[in-house]
């Protein structure tokens, strides 16, 4: 079988980090006799420059007819003056909506080798961190109605019961394979949409009696992530809250450059991308950390292709590279040698 991957390199450091991810996937193919077909398409600022729109019809069709989408990063100051609907970031929202990828899975893992890069006290993260944030991805304020003028602007935040049920189902299922604990984060003391969220999640608990369920307001949740992160197993939350909390979680682990993500729907098709942005200030300088993108490829192997052994081989290669001191500038110690984007990709490929 040949697995078809739609490749969107995007903007800024996107092409550099995706190239290293593809390098690792090709090594996996050689090692495990797996065939991958890579189809490169445009989205984001690169697509705006080439064809005048952030998500061309051809790109969407290729993605729909692929087994997975592999994305670098989109956006940058070059396109900051464009109107909201024309901006590069709209490509991501449209892809998620059109492919019905409603669940964003973001592991927050702190490797022992990177403990020194964590900004928290040693006693808080002793023994490491392993959290999964399950973020609803196609609803909420990012997809609500909106209006803007120089004098007044508004954004509408809304959720339906069905939208909450299907993302809660994902969180409970993931928790069932881990430590059987879900913390649902909302703002139900203020927002009606959060009241529906909490009520619906609570009702879903009846189907998962072996899962412990806790509720937490988002402001307290943000605080608890830095005060006592080890209390969390699976965090379930909405689109905007999940966006903020997952970035906070990434910094706890040492760097945005370390965290992968998977955007999933009901079937096997998924979109895989690093949590970080396009970092145009270091684009083309061989400075970007490709590990989040490479770990996103590992998630692709597991979630979309069902290739568990192959996915674990990538994860183990990353761990070995870190253990051997292979680090980019963002995670290197002050007086420690740092490695370039391409060197890190080479090293991890060698360890497959």
Q: Which residues are catalytic?
A: 142, 187, 219, 243, 247
| Alpha carbons 342 and 325: distance in angstroms, whole number | 15
Pair 237, 171: CB distance under 8 Å = no
E strands along 126-283, which residues?
129-136, 146-148, 153-155, 181-186, 212-217, 234-237, 260-264, 270-274
In terms of DSSP bridges, do strands 68-73 and 270-274 run parallel, antiparallel, or are they unpaired?
parallel
Structure tokens at 207: 């189907």
3-state helix vs strand vs coil in the chain, percent to 5? 45, 20, 35
Structure tokens at 122: 């040693």
DSSP letter, residue 139: S
* Nearest alpha-carbon partner for 100 in 268, 300, 265: 265
Structure tokens at 48: 């705006």
Tell me how crowded residue 120 is: count the other CB atoms within 10 A of its CB.
18
Structure tokens at 197: 């969220």
DSSP characters over 39-60: EE---THHHHHHHSSSS-HHHH
| Alpha carbons 270 and 264: distance in angstroms, whole number | 5
């Amino acid at each position: 079988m040949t697995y078809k991957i739609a490749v969107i390199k995007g903007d800024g450091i996107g092409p550099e980090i995706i190239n290293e991810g593809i390098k690792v996937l090709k090594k996996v193919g050689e090692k495990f006799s797996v065939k991958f077909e890579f189809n490169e398409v445009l989205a984001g600022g690169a697509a705006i420059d080439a064809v005048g729109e952030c998500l061309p019809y051809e790109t969407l069709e290729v993605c729909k007819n692929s087994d997975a989408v592999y994305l670098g990063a989109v956006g940058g100051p070059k396109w900051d003056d464009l109107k909201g609907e024309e901006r590069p970031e709209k490509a991501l929202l449209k892809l998620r909506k059109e492919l019905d990828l409603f669940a964003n899975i973001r592991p927050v893992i702190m490797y022992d080798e990177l403990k020194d890069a964590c900004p928290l006290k040693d006693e808080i993260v002793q023994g490491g961190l392993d959290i999964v944030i399950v973020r609803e991805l196609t609803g909420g304020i990012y997809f609500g109605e909106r209006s803007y003028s120089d004098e007044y602007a508004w954004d509408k935040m809304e959720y339906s019961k069905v939208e909450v049920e299907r993302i809660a189902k994902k969180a409970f299922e993931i928790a069932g394979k881990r430590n059987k604990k879900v913390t649902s984060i909302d703002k139900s003391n203020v927002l009606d949409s959060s009241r529906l969220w909490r009520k619906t999640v609570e009702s879903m608990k009846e189907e998962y009696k072996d899962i412990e369920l806790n509720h937490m307001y988002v402001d307290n949740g943000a605080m608890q992530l830095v005060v006592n992160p080890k209390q969390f197993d699976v965090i379930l939350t909405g689109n905007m809250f999940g966006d903020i909390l997952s970035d906070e979680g990434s910094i706890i682990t040492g760097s945005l450059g370390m965290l992968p993500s998977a955007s999933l729907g009901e079937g096997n098709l998924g979109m895989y991308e690093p949590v970080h942005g396009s970092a145009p200030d270091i684009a083309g300088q061989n400075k970007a950390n490709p590990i989040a993108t490479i770990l996103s490829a590992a998630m692709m192997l597991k979630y979309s292709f069902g290739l568990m052994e192959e996915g674990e081989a990538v994860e183990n290669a990353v761990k070995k590279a870190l253990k051997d001191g292979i680090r980019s500038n963002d995670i290197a110690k002050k007086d420690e040698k740092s490695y370039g984007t391409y060197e890190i990709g080479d090293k991890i490929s060698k360890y497959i």
